[in-house]
Amino acid sequence: MDLPEECWELIFRFIDQDDHRFLESLSLVSASFLSITNRVRSTFTITDRTLPFLHRHILRFHNLKRVRFHDFHGDINSILLQISLSCLDLESLDISGMPYFPDLKTKMSSSMKEFSCSGVRELRENNIVSIGVCFPSLQKLDISYPESLPSPVFDSAIISLSSNLKSLLKIDVSGNNLITDKSLVSLSQNCVLLREIIFRDCDFVSSRCIEFVLSNSRFLESLAINGIGWRPRESFSKDAFLLCRCLSELNLSDSFLSDEFLRLIADAKLPLKKIVLSNCQCLTFDGVLYLLTKYQTLVHLNLEGSSFLSDEMIMELVVFLGRLTFVNFSFCAKLTGVSFFNILERCVSLQCMRMEGTNFGVEDDSKELCVLKSRIKSLYISGNHNLRDECLLKISRHCPFVETLAVDHCPAITGDGVLEVLRNSGELTSLDISGCSGIKCVDALDFELPKLETLRACGTWIDDQALGLISKRCPRLLRLDLKGCLNVTSRGVKEVVQRCTRLREINLSNCEVDDGIFIWMVCANPSLRKIVPPCCFSPTKELHKFLLRHGCVICQEIP
């Protein structure tokens, strides 16, 4: 198609926002496309695999805005110095999960807008202070759940941090369990533009402090806390929520919530669009019903673990949930397929539903509900031990546009049921059938799955013959997880690697494959980026280096 370069650039920028990995194949089309993809690439992930070619990548992608470290075991400081000398105008840096906190001084752009160091080991007070000094323009900050316990971060560090971050919009301090009210008060007073605060598992934050944050942070749109109501004699005033007029998202999961507290929220008449009450104690149907009658424009509702809910109660609740796009009723053990189809019927805008670990499947399958074809795209119904092929077929008829389907650990499902779902779901891109012991074979897979990209089949009876069929029918497969598939051997792996030319990741943990297959795999399929070998296999340094030269990493799965 003969389009101006500016039009192609707009198209490629849209692709980059969705998933930058698709730019790789486009860059091979022509010199012009290579130039455009180099220009529009904005995100880069640094791993052990990319390290040998990092200098070339930085020169090639000179408009990078976001850098993330993942599965990296090298020297972070030297990498940050290399990035700073390249004059990249970075806006986002993510070092989450790294083994230590790097030295930020003089290395990175002071105009950084987002910084995440969640789960970093040995996070110290001086590290927190340095964030505020080095990145005064930060808008989003995540310092949650440092791995060193007890947490070494105290109020003094948070107070110093907040005094330097006047433009901060979002902060997550969850898991820093030694901070107290002083930290939250300083954040609320110094960072007056704050729109989102997350402070879960902060045991020394009181209800008085929460009320102060709610009343003093006048731009606050999202609040996530837990543990409310667990402390003795803790209470909220009747005006606790009246002043937070911008609050649209409220997460109170893992709390002890009385009907009186829910009424405080309901009567405050907030502009709430999202409510998360997962795994809360003391919830009652009357309290939840009253809350939902006041917020009938909700788009996101999470009531996971509300074991008191029944099908009859759901029938009453869904009357007020017509605008939902996401709902989670997982581990509500009394719910059956009756609730599932009632939700589909009433919530016509629904895009994602989670109903895992329920009693789905015990209802009367002969009763067909008058449900129009739902536009739902993501469906998670794992761990439903009574879910059978007949019910799965019924779901596929009513949800023909589903793109992500998880039915893992549903032992009553067989291969026939999965095949019927695949036949009816032409938009499916991700399927999880892990732990479905009833799936013995997929011999009748006689049609193509042109859009399937991810298949997780851990612990199933899938064998080489099934892999041969999958490789023929799934030409766009990117990720394949065969962990615990004891009947899979090198023969089946070779077939899928040869035919699925776009395959990027494969998990062969506990599979019966030969030690010498891995060199063949990367030579036969240049798109491979990650291989998880059998647990008993220990790759040599020479093998690591050989695979890295081919852009692939081999690593044992983290338990």
Each domain of the chain, given as residue ranges in start order, spans: 1-41, 299-426, 441-558
Cβ atoms 390, 410 nearer than 8 A: no
Query: What average pLDDT score do residues 24-46 get?
Result: 76
Cβ atoms 213, 182 nearer than 8 A: no
Instruction: Kindly state the percentage of the chain with pLDDT values over 70.
Output: 94
Per-residue pLDDT, 73: 87
Whether the predicted pLDDT of 1 surpasses 60: no
Whether the predicted pLDDT of 355 surpasses 70: yes
Query: What average pLDDT score do residues 147-163 get?
Result: 85
**Who contacts 205 (Cβ-Cβ below 8 Å, separation ≥6)?**
179, 180, 181, 183, 184, 199, 225
Query: What average pLDDT score do residues 168-183 get?
Result: 95
Neighbours of 559 (CB within 10 A): 3
Query: What average pLDDT score do residues 4-24 get?
Result: 69
Q: Where are the alpha helices (DSSP H) in 268-371?
A: 285-294, 311-317, 337-346
Whether the predicted pLDDT of 106 surpasses 70: no
Cβ atoms 13, 36 nearer than 8 A: no
Instruction: Kindly state the percentage of the chain with pLDDT values over 90.
Output: 68
Q: Do domains 299-426 and 441-558 have the same CATH topology?
A: yes
> pLDDT band at 549, cuts 50/70/90?
confident
| DSSP secondary structure of 168-235 | --EEE-TT-TT-BHHHHHHHHHH-TT--EEE-TT-TB--HHHHHHHHHH-TT--EEE---TT-STT--
Query: What average pLDDT score do residues 404-426 get?
Result: 93
299-426 folds as 3.80.10
- What is the distance between the alpha carbons of residues 199 and 366, in angstroms, rounded to a whole number? 48
Range in 30-44, 65-79, 133-147 the model is least confident about: 30-44
- What is the distance between the alpha carbons of residues 387 and 377, in angstroms, rounded to a whole number? 20
> pLDDT band at 54, cuts 50/70/90?
confident
Per-residue pLDDT, 323: 96
Cβ atoms 362, 386 nearer than 8 A: yes
- What is the distance between the alpha carbons of residues 102 and 73, in angstroms, rounded to a whole number? 13
Range in 27-31, 267-271, 295-299, 346-350 the model is least confident about: 27-31
> pLDDT band at 366, cuts 50/70/90?
very low
> pLDDT band at 370, cuts 50/70/90?
low
- What is the distance between the alpha carbons of residues 6 and 18, in angstroms, rounded to a whole number? 19
CATH of 441-558, one of 3.30.200.20, 3.40.50.300, 3.80.10.10, 1.10.10.10: 3.80.10.10
Entry field: residues in the chain: 559
> pLDDT band at 111, cuts 50/70/90?
confident
Of residues 492, 498, 406, the one with CA closest to residue 442: 492
Query: What average pLDDT score do residues 15-37 get?
Result: 68
Residue type, 422: L
Whether the predicted pLDDT of 369 surpasses 60: no
The residue that leads in pLDDT, 223 or 558, is 223
pLDDT digits 0-9 by tens, 483-510: 999 999 999 999 999 999 999 999 999 9
Per-residue pLDDT, 467: 92
Is residue 13 helix, strand or coil? helix
Q: Where are the alpha helices (DSSP H) in 98-154?
A: 125-134
Of residues 451, 440, 447, the one with CA closest to residue 472: 447
> pLDDT band at 226, cuts 50/70/90?
very high
Q: What is the CA radius of gyration of the chain?
A: 26
Scan for tokens 């003969």, then name that residue.
Answer: 2
- What is the distance between the alpha carbons of residues 343 and 327, in angstroms, rounded to a whole number? 9
Average pLDDT over the chain, rounded to whole? 90
Cβ atoms 444, 469 nearer than 8 A: no
Model confidence, pTM: 0.91
Per-residue pLDDT, 9: 67
- Which regions of 365-494 does DSSP assign to beta strands (E)? 378-380, 404-406, 430-432, 454-456, 479-481
Give 531's strand partners: 506, 554
